[in-house]
Amino acid sequence: MIVVVCGPGGVGKGTVVARLVAEDPRLWLSRSWTTRAPRPGEAADAYTFVDRPTFEAHAASGGFLEHADFLGNLYGTPWPEAGDDHDVVLEIDVQGAEQVLEREPAALVVLLEPPSRQVQADRLRGRGDPPDQVAERVAVAEQELERGRALGAVRVVNDDLDDTVAEVRDLIEARRSW
Ligand code: 5GP
């Protein structure tokens, strides 16, 4: 099974996914490639950081399950290398979720929604995003939410972290027992 956790930047996808994976050994977290520069203090293994020609060559050779341009940087999911006994978790944007669903219609797609724009902006600032990028990301969030809802993703408002993790875990368990 493929589990896609998508939603606007600053909604807390990374935190939710980290908890899910830490608590469930059957989940295998995909590491994306990006052309974005690492943020100050960001873990070196948060992404596979590459330059644009390297990314584009990998995309041209069919190396990605999906890839997208997000605010001028490229992001992509390499073809998963999880064994059959694992479920793959992708933490990606809504454009990526659309592509995954085209290829894998049985994927479970969860759309994480921020409780409010203010909370989203605070989270983006809190992790050190520059002010111009905070404004840009909040502006695109509304479109992303609309596209995610149109996809038929399961919507989960990330208000309380424990509740959100429990809700997504229940969705995964329910899908496993289909
Ligand atoms: P950030 O720059 O904040 O790390 O990521 C920007 C956006 O790109 C976030 O919504 C993040 O979830 C998304 N993203 C991260 N990796 C991928 C990926 O492999 N594919 C796609 N389509 N989006 C990704």
**pLDDT over 80 (residue 82):** no
Total domains present in the chain: 1
Give the separation between CA 59 and CA 67, rounded to whole angstroms: 8
Which CATH number goes with the domain that contains 112?
A: 3.40.50.300
The CB of 92 under 6 Å from ligand 1? The reply is: yes
Question: How much is the pLDDT for 149?
Answer: 93
The CB of 91 under 6 Å from ligand 1? The reply is: yes
| Pocket probe mutation, ligand 1, options 47, 93, 111, max atoms within 8 Å of Cβ | 93
Tens digit of each residue's pLDDT (9 = 90 or more) over 158-170: 999 999 999 999 9
Tens digit of each residue's pLDDT (9 = 90 or more) over 36-80: 999 989 999 999 999 999 999 999 999 999 999 998 999 999 999
Question: How much is the pLDDT for 83?
Answer: 81
Closest CA to 8 of 96, 103, 128, 104: 96
Q: What is the mean pLDDT of residues 82-106?
A: 94
Give the structural domain span for 56: 2-176
Tens digit of each residue's pLDDT (9 = 90 or more) over 19-44: 999 999 999 999 999 999 999 899 99
Tens digit of each residue's pLDDT (9 = 90 or more) over 101-153: 999 999 999 999 999 888 888 988 988 888 888 888 888 898 999 999 999 89
Question: How much is the pLDDT for 10?
Answer: 84
Size of the chain in residues: 178
Closest CA to 169 of 87, 93, 77: 87
Give the separation between CA 27 and CA 45, rounded to whole angstroms: 18
- This prediction's pTM: 0.93
Going by alpha carbons, the residue nearest to atom 10 of ligand 1 is: 93
DSSP 40-99: TT--TTSSEE--HHHHHHHHHTT-EEEEEEETTEEEEEEPP---TTSEEEEE--HHHHHH
| Pocket probe mutation, ligand 1, options 31, 32, 94, 147, max atoms within 8 Å of Cβ | 32
The CB of 137 under 6 Å from ligand 1? The reply is: no
Q: Is 127 helix (H, G, I), strand (E, B) or coil?
A: coil
Closest CA to 97 of 87, 111, 86: 111
